Amino acid sequence: MGKFTFVAVIVMMALAARLHAAEDFESVWQAYLSEHEVRKSIFNETHARTKKHNSKKGVTFQMGHIAFSVLTSEEKKRHLGALKPVRPNSVVRGVARQALPCSIDYRTDSCLPPVESIVLRDQGGCGSSWAHSATAVVEFGKCKKCDGTALDLRLIVDCSREEGCSGGWEQEAWQYLASNGGQTDDSSYPYTTETRTCVFIPSDMSIGAEISSSDPVEWVAWQDPTAMMTVLAGGRIISIFMQLPESFFSYEKYLLDAFFLSRSYAHAMNVVGYGTLDQNDYWVVRYSWSEGWEAAGYVLVRRSVDLCMIE
């Protein structure tokens, strides 16, 4: 091949590379624009729904824009992860009734750190709400029982069941922990937003809370939420299941009361108190999204009507 022929080939290759790069840029750019158009469309629907809701008279809660405003239904579901509760087959023990205070609120309790301060506890795109809810119960119970120091325990996403990021049950988590001596500190076994192979080795890890047994308790019917209130009055918090309405992902403040809307999202959370607002009874509910939420990690949910299966 002659010198000029060789140079021509090099020039042609360079031009081809530039054209290919230009095509790559253009295709990536178009994909970028397309993705943003999709997000804009979702945001527009959310905005219209939010504006319509807030303009109604007599609504009990306010909606606004948060991190979920541009997510698809499937993307929202990846931030959930609860499976519908199954009534236990074994004999259950009842909850002893007692005189109850008018309200209880553990949101400022030293055993329940602010949700936004627990950055590593944001469940992210892993359907592990069941593990967050189960762990919160253990952490709070151990803290109350001992010296009042808040705990940071390992979330047992990848040990008590396979594909833990695809959902689970809190009682499975507690049963696993009871069978293995307890729950480790998070520093011994950090949480990730992906399901991994379980490497829980109690003898090699620091156990933050020893657990000897896990027994089913009373199955509470919505006609009698007193048992739940009694548990709270006894210095414990509760793991609950909810079938969330679409409006939950735009909740901003006040009292959530949306049982009349569709409920297509299953989520596990914790009830950490109860009270009354403008003659409306409510539960104080704590969730596991530490960022992008306007209500500092909590939502008030109407009490005694089994809203979204909370009771």
Cβ–Cβ < 8 Å for 80, 265: yes
Least confident of 128-132, 175-179, 215-219: 215-219
d(CA 2, CA 161): 68
Domain ranges of the chain: 60-309
4 φ/ψ angles, rounded to the nearest 5 degrees: -70, -35
Beta strands 280-286 and 298-302, pairing class: antiparallel
Here the tokens at position 71 are 């997510």
What is the phi-psi region of residue 247: left when phi exceeds 0, alpha when psi lies from -120 to 50, beta otherwise? alpha
d(CA 125, CA 160): 19
Q: Look at residue 270 in the predicted model and tell me its pLDDT.
A: 95
Please check the confidence at residue 99 and state whether its pLDDT lies above 70: yes
d(CA 123, CA 82): 13
The model carries a pTM of 0.82
Cβ–Cβ < 8 Å for 293, 283: no
What's the pLDDT tens digit per position in 115-146? 765 544 567 778 889 988 998 999 999 899 88
Over residues 172-190, mean pLDDT: 82
Cβ–Cβ < 8 Å for 267, 242: yes
Reported as a pLDDT band with limits 50, 70 and 90, residue 221 is low
| Residue 94, CB-side half-sphere exposure with 13 Å CA sphere | 5
d(CA 22, CA 250): 40
Beta strands 182-184 and 280-286, pairing class: unpaired
Cβ–Cβ < 8 Å for 150, 143: yes
Cβ–Cβ < 8 Å for 84, 266: yes
Angle between helices 170-179 and 129-145 in degrees, nearest 10 = 50
60-309, what's its fold? Answer: Cathepsin B; Chain A (3.90.70)
What's the pLDDT tens digit per position in 182-194? 888 877 777 777 7
d(CA 289, CA 119): 9
Name the residue among 268, 235, 35, 33 with its Cα closest to residue 131: 268
